[in-house]
A and B are shown apart, each in its own frame.
Chain A
Amino acid sequence: MTAGSWLRERFPVDGDQLRELTNEPVPAHLKRWWFCLGGTPAYLFLVQIVTGILLAFYYQASSTNAYESVRHITEDLEYGWFLRGIHKWGATLMVASVILHQMRVYFTGAYRKPRELNWIVGMFILLCTLVLGFTGYSLVGEQLSYWAATVGANITNNVPLIGPTLGRLLIAGDQINPQTLPRFFILHGAVLPVVLVLLLFLHITILRLHGVTDFGATKEEKEKRFDFFPDHFLTEVTIGLVLMILLTVLATVFPVGMGPAADPLSTPEVIKPEWFFLVTFRWLKLMPITAAILSLGFIFFVMLIWPFIDGWFRKRRPASELSVWIGILAVLAIIGLTVWEALVQH
């Protein structure tokens, strides 16, 4: 008995089935690189899982040891600074690519019927990624971590009705205490990644069931397809390599150092969250906190059900380009608020 047949007997999939499973022909437009932005965050997520597991071997989620263990990883262990650098820069790139992917989907109208549900799943993936980012930098035990967690908790506390309960649940008490970090760690290292994996599974399943959106204008173009494997797969491998090079260079040239250790007694004069929260941070400063939170919730809700709003509107004005204009406005607003927050001192 050959090894192949031995295996096939125990893992009863033949080559054709496997090919069918993995090898859906994809539309020709995927030959263009900017349509691969969906694969980018997925690949980065893989990098985050691998480096995250490695870091978790040494990280200690306790208020007394967190900073020291991160310092140990960064300064004492071999390649620790490098792996931490990749994790940190990987997070940055992941958030960026999720946002870019979403923008691409939005502007190409790929969320439209029948793919509304996948847009919704995507929104939750975005949310999940952002919360992963937030819990991630709260784990380091630096001043930024401590005060970011504090600010995060305060924002949560201000959500009407459920806020205080949610806030207490988030940081395990009324203020940061020794139980807070383990919570953040479990969220960051177990709960959220699993949720994200499930969401991604759902996202890709829905994608596979519908097939990749077709943008071809003519029927001929629409029918032009090429194989996922190995052709598109190699594209993804290429992207993966480019990302690895980018991450490696970023981690080496801009190494992630250690900020000042968390000090509950002294609030830094300027607290700035990571860049992807700058827009929210500015928004919060623009109006009373409850109004800001409610409006943020409202904006999120509108984004969530946007495919339906858009669908309702297009039924009435099929030729309208309104969604594009709204999208441009939203992007400009987000960039504007982010830059504003990044530039001002307070």
Chain B
Amino acid sequence: MSLSAKQLIIAFLGILFLASLVLVQYTEVMRREEEAGLREHKVAVPESSKRCFECHRQTNPGIAEHWLGSTHAQKGIGCIECHEAQTTDADAFSHEGYTIATIVTPRDCSKCHPKEADEFQNSHHAMAGNILHSLDNLLAETVEGSRIPFDPHSKTPGRPDIDGKVNGMASAFTGCQQCHGSLVGFAGRDGKPVTMKDLEPDAAGKPTNLEAVARITKNADGKPIFSPGSWPNTGIGRINVDGSRGSCSACHSRHDFSPRRARQPENCGKCHLGPDHPQKEIYDESKHGIAFADLRHKMNLDAKDWVLGKDYSAAPTCATCHMSGHSKNEGTITHDPGQRISWTNRPPISLAMDTDINGKVVTEADPAKRNELVKDTWQNKRDRMTQVCSHCHTNDYISSFYKQYDDFVQLYNEKFAKPGTLIMNALKANGLITKPNFDEEIEWTWFYLWHHEGRRARHGAAMMAPDYAHWHGMYEVAERFYMELIPQAREHCEHGRQNGKAKEADDVLALIDSILARPEHKWSKGEAK
């Protein structure tokens, strides 16, 4: 090669080198603009979701913005990955050339998060939908509302559009079901909703009852219409049309699915608050909540794994103790909060959290039979919680705390819950009160005692909020017991005696007297202190 040819080549390469440095300059400028916040962090909208994104960015900018800030966006998980459906799905419809479904169920999430979905399906959270048509829901569906629509009694001026039937389920829909989860259904052609109970989904979530599928009403575009009470709904125990239970967005709000948010107590506070189970308020009052309020900025809430004792140790949140990974369990997260709870304080009488193969609390009393049924003992659960506690507390401290807690639960159980249950059962068995619930004052009294005050007391003890344990708790339990439940029970007996149930009344009165003669109740007769 001649010298001048070489020189030409070098000149050419020099220019090429310069061009590649221009590329460097361009990258640098982009980087700096991004850093200064003048440019969005580069999130590549996956090709498959580009059209969804462009259009919904115009129509629902909030969804698009939220998604842009999500880890999903960073990892290239777009719209279609979650909303994709097969034509054989009950809720599938064709939208702009894609077959999609509106509701993303835990079954959909489990495609990428199988462990989390599994743990969740076994949790009490997933069972929250069972409350529908249960005792609690009698209140919303019947007492507060009405299971049958009824006619309004006068017009609402200015709103002729709402003068149709009154939807008696409204309180259940907006109250109970937004936490507990709805039984998701479609509006049926015959007026009855089409739910998973009709669709009978198989193991893969596909409906097997095609007659039910045919009953689903669809709009002009072929999109199935949900029965309005059941959707929108992010209740944690939502019963989806594919048969899966729950809603991941109950805690991991769509569409940014922020782990940060799920780690904070406010997230749980959507449901765990109020008169019957004020866990959020209890937490806020506890040393744990106080520390969190102060040290929130040291919680490293954006950490990738958020392992207690490694990524943070400033304060515990709900998630820290009940779900999150910590340095003593290799950072293993559980999506079943029940795995670390040793007492269930949900029922009138607290039960040890011995659970069976399905994660249900074992109520069997016979030790041998119980042993057979129990798959995970309360002690295992307590040991798991103890591991968490031990990040900040010594073992002596923890076991002494649990002693205090056990004593408290036992006191409540033995002094009020078991006697109250006996009395209520006796009244009902003897026909001194009617079968339906909540039609007599004493049924409200008893409900207040265990469901509101009794739980407040026990939760207060469990999570170290003295005011809830005492003034909002045991104090009110005691007042309710002595000043309302006992007098009302006696009244029902008197009433029964006058209505030809003397024998039954005497039996129940004898029971009440025998209870009050117990040493712990003697004081109420002025006999002991």
Chain A residues contacting B23 (CB-CB under 8 Å) are 248-249, 252
Contact call B20/A252, Cβ cutoff below 8 A: yes
Given A78-B28, A231-B6: A249 in contact with B13 (beta carbons within 8 A): no
Chain A residues contacting B17 (CB-CB under 8 Å) are 241, 244-245, 248
Contact of B28 among A31, A82, A245, A248 (CB under 8 A): A82
Residue A56 at the chain B interface, CB threshold 8 Å: no
Q: How large is the interface on B (under 10, 10 to 19, 20 to 34, 35 or more residues)?
A: 20 to 34
Given A231-B6, A238-B9, A238-B13: A252 in contact with B1 (beta carbons within 8 A): no
Contact call B310/A81, Cβ cutoff below 8 A: no
CB distance from A226 to the nearest CB of B (A): 10
CB distance from B311 to the nearest CB of A (A): 11
Which residues B1-19 have CB closer than 8 A to chain A?
A: 1, 3, 6-7, 9-10, 13-14, 16-17
Residue A44 at the chain B interface, CB threshold 8 Å: no
CB distance from B488 to the nearest CB of A (A): 61
Chain B residues contacting A234 (CB-CB under 8 Å) are 3, 6-7, 10
Contact call A241/B310, Cβ cutoff below 8 A: no
Residue B434 at the chain A interface, CB threshold 8 Å: no
Contact call A238/B28, Cβ cutoff below 8 A: no
Interface string of B92-129 (1 = CB under 8 A from A): 00000000000000000000000000000000000000
Given A248-B21, A252-B20: A241 in contact with B10 (beta carbons within 8 A): yes
The chain B residue sitting closest to A242, CB to CB, is B13
The chain B residue sitting closest to A263, CB to CB, is B310
Interface string of A56-86 (1 = CB under 8 A from B): 0000000000000000000100110110000
Contact call A81/B3, Cβ cutoff below 8 A: no
Instruction: Give Cα A275 to B1, complex, Å.
Output: 36
Which residues B345-397 have CB closer than 8 A to chain A?
A: none
Instruction: Give Cα A244 to B20, complex, Å.
Output: 9
Residue B133 at the chain A interface, CB threshold 8 Å: no
The chain B residue sitting closest to A232, CB to CB, is B6
Residue A230 at the chain B interface, CB threshold 8 Å: yes
Instruction: Give Cα A78 to B21, complex, Å.
Output: 14
Instruction: Give Cα A150 to B20, complex, Å.
Output: 38
The chain A residue sitting closest to B2, CB to CB, is A231
CB distance from A297 to the nearest CB of B (A): 38
Instruction: Give Cα A81 to B28, complex, Å.
Output: 9
Contact call B16/A245, Cβ cutoff below 8 A: yes
Contact call B3/A231, Cβ cutoff below 8 A: yes
Interface string of A210-237 (1 = CB under 8 A from B): 0000000000000000000011001101
Contact call A265/B20, Cβ cutoff below 8 A: no
Residue A251 at the chain B interface, CB threshold 8 Å: yes
Contact call A235/B6, Cβ cutoff below 8 A: yes
Instruction: Give Cα A262 to B102, complex, Å.
Output: 43
The chain A residue sitting closest to B13, CB to CB, is A241
CB distance from A294 to the nearest CB of B (A): 37
Interface string of B11-55 (1 = CB under 8 A from A): 001101100110110011001100100000000000000000000
Chain A residues contacting B28 (CB-CB under 8 Å) are 78-79, 81-82
Which residues A139-158 have CB closer than 8 A to chain B?
A: none
Chain A residues contacting B1 (CB-CB under 8 Å) are 31
Instruction: Give Cα A230 to B23, complex, Å.
Output: 31
Chain B residues contacting A237 (CB-CB under 8 Å) are 10
Instruction: Give Cα A248 to B13, complex, Å.
Output: 13
Chain A residues contacting B21 (CB-CB under 8 Å) are 248
Instruction: Give Cα A235 to B16, complex, Å.
Output: 17
Instruction: Give Cα A136 to B32, complex, Å.
Output: 27
Instruction: Give Cα A237 to B20, complex, Å.
Output: 17
Which residues B448-471 have CB closer than 8 A to chain A?
A: none
Chain B residues contacting A244 (CB-CB under 8 Å) are 17, 20
Instruction: Give Cα A245 to B32, complex, Å.
Output: 23
Instruction: Give Cα A152 to B25, complex, Å.
Output: 38
CB distance from B15 to the nearest CB of A (A): 10
Contact call A241/B24, Cβ cutoff below 8 A: no
Contact call B14/A241, Cβ cutoff below 8 A: yes
CB distance from A253 to the nearest CB of B (A): 8
Instruction: Give Cα A242 to B16, complex, Å.
Output: 9
Instruction: Give Cα A255 to B16, complex, Å.
Output: 20
Chain A residues contacting B16 (CB-CB under 8 Å) are 241, 245
Instruction: Give Cα A31 to B3, complex, Å.
Output: 11
Instruction: Give Cα A78 to B7, complex, Å.
Output: 33
Chain B residues contacting A82 (CB-CB under 8 Å) are 24, 27-28
Instruction: Give Cα A81 to B29, complex, Å.
Output: 12
Instruction: Give Cα A242 to B17, complex, Å.
Output: 8
Contact of B24 among A31, A75, A235, A252 (CB under 8 A): A252
Contact of B27 among A230, A241, A252 (CB under 8 A): A252
CB distance from A82 to the nearest CB of B (A): 5
CB distance from B107 to the nearest CB of A (A): 29
CB distance from B35 to the nearest CB of A (A): 8
Given A31-B1, A81-B31, A244-B17: A238 in contact with B24 (beta carbons within 8 A): no
Contact call B20/A245, Cβ cutoff below 8 A: yes
CB distance from A243 to the nearest CB of B (A): 10
Chain A residues contacting B7 (CB-CB under 8 Å) are 234
Chain A residues contacting B3 (CB-CB under 8 Å) are 230-231, 234
Contact call B13/A245, Cβ cutoff below 8 A: yes
The chain A residue sitting closest to B23, CB to CB, is A252
Chain B residues contacting A75 (CB-CB under 8 Å) are 35
The chain A residue sitting closest to B327, CB to CB, is A265
CB distance from A119 to the nearest CB of B (A): 30
The chain A residue sitting closest to B7, CB to CB, is A234
The chain B residue sitting closest to A244, CB to CB, is B17
Instruction: Give Cα A265 to B17, complex, Å.
Output: 44
CB distance from B136 to the nearest CB of A (A): 45
Contact call A248/B9, Cβ cutoff below 8 A: no
Contact call A248/B24, Cβ cutoff below 8 A: yes
Lowest 9 A-B CB distances belong to which pairs? A241-B13, A248-B20, A234-B6, A245-B17, A244-B17, A245-B20, A82-B24, A252-B23, A252-B27
7 A-B residue pairs with CB within 8 Å = A82-B24, A230-B3, A234-B10, A237-B10, A241-B17, A248-B23, A249-B20
A79-B28, A251-B24 known; 9 new pairs, CB 8 Å cut-off, are: A82-B24, A230-B3, A231-B3, A234-B6, A235-B6, A238-B9, A241-B16, A248-B24, A249-B20
Please report A residues at the B interface, Cβ cutoff 8 Å. 31, 75, 78-79, 81-82, 230-231, 234-235, 237-238, 241-242, 244-245, 248-249, 251-252, 255, 265
